[in-house]
Amino acid sequence: MAVLALFHHAGGSAAVFRRLTRLLPDHVEPLVAELPGRGRRWREPTLHTAEDAVNDLTDLLVREVGTDAELSIFGHSMGAYLGLGVAAALERRGGPRCQVLFASANLAPHLASPLFAEGEGPASDEQVLERAARYGALDDGLLRDPHIAARAVSLLRSDFDICDSFVRTMSRTVTESRVVVCRGREDVFGDEHTDQWQWSSVQPLTTRTFPGGHLYLESAGAEPLAAAISSALTEPAQSRT
């Protein structure tokens, strides 16, 4: 049985993976992780640094997955960066090792710039929502409820802090895992943004594109994505020469 850990996007939760997990084959066991402040962990205080988020998710996998398990990670958007950090952290700890890192819907880490400048005070709610809207990841209907909108801004703010922290401190992280880039054909990130994920792994890079935009895994891209994941988990590892 192959275990697939799933890490959500900024402002997101386990809900983004509902369709994908239903489509995965029986030999792939999904392990959907959530950061504090949402879902089952909604009572826990949110995190604000990449180090804390990576440690939180790494601890989860160490607890839940045996050291000899066949583990892979699918990280979407922010989750792609955290997946890279966790894969490297697991290597330092000695297990379980991540075999394949599916880096979904995000540009190569060393190409990224922080979303917000340091030392200029907190961004306004409008600035936070504007950043999120660039990627088509906001539900305008939900935002009409002031209580839900306030909660969404709070989660986005903490997750954007994590993203900026990663870009500033962990963007040069390299893993022994094989990296498979996954992205929607209509996403803002094209080949020029994702090809350089190759420098985040010692193994050759593979790229897969799917119908849809930034949240392609919730729409038409879900079924071909599940098939691509299943196929990638059966391919042998290679060394880059």
CATH at residue 89:
3.40.50.1820
Token look-up 């066991």 returns: 29
Among 67-71, 111-115, 205-209, name the one with the lowest average pLDDT. 67-71
Q: Which residues contact residue 17 at a Cβ distance below 8 angstroms, ignoring those fewer than 6 apart? A: 6, 8, 30, 32, 217
pLDDT, average across residues 136-144? 64
The answer as to whether 40 is a domain residue is: yes
Q: Does the bond joining 96 to the residue before it have cis omega, within 30 degrees of 0?
A: yes
The answer as to whether 241 is a domain residue is: no
The answer as to whether 38 is a domain residue is: yes
Q: Which tokens in the block code for residue 200? A: 């985040």
Q: Which tokens in the block code for residue 218? A: 């919730």
Q: Is the pTM of this model over 0.75?
A: yes
Residue 171 pLDDT greater than 80, yes or no: yes
Residue 42 pLDDT greater than 70, yes or no: yes
What is the DSSP-derived secondary structure letter of residue 122? P
Whole domain around residue 170: which residue ranges?
A: 2-232
The answer as to whether 238 is a domain residue is: no
Contact 218, 137 (CB under 8 A): no
Q: Which helix (H) or strand (E) holds 2?
A: strand 2-7
What local confidence, expressed as pLDDT, does residue 94 receive? 85
Token look-up 């792994």 returns: 201
Beta strands per DSSP E along 20-125? 28-33, 70-76, 98-104
Confidence of residue 240 (pLDDT cuts 50, 70, 90): very low
How many structural domains is the chain composed of? Answer: 1
The answer as to whether 239 is a domain residue is: no
Residue 223 pLDDT greater than 90, yes or no: yes
CA geometry: angle at 138 spanning 22 and 200, to 5°?
A: 70
The answer as to whether 240 is a domain residue is: no
Confidence of residue 7 (pLDDT cuts 50, 70, 90): very high
pLDDT, average across residues 36-59? 96
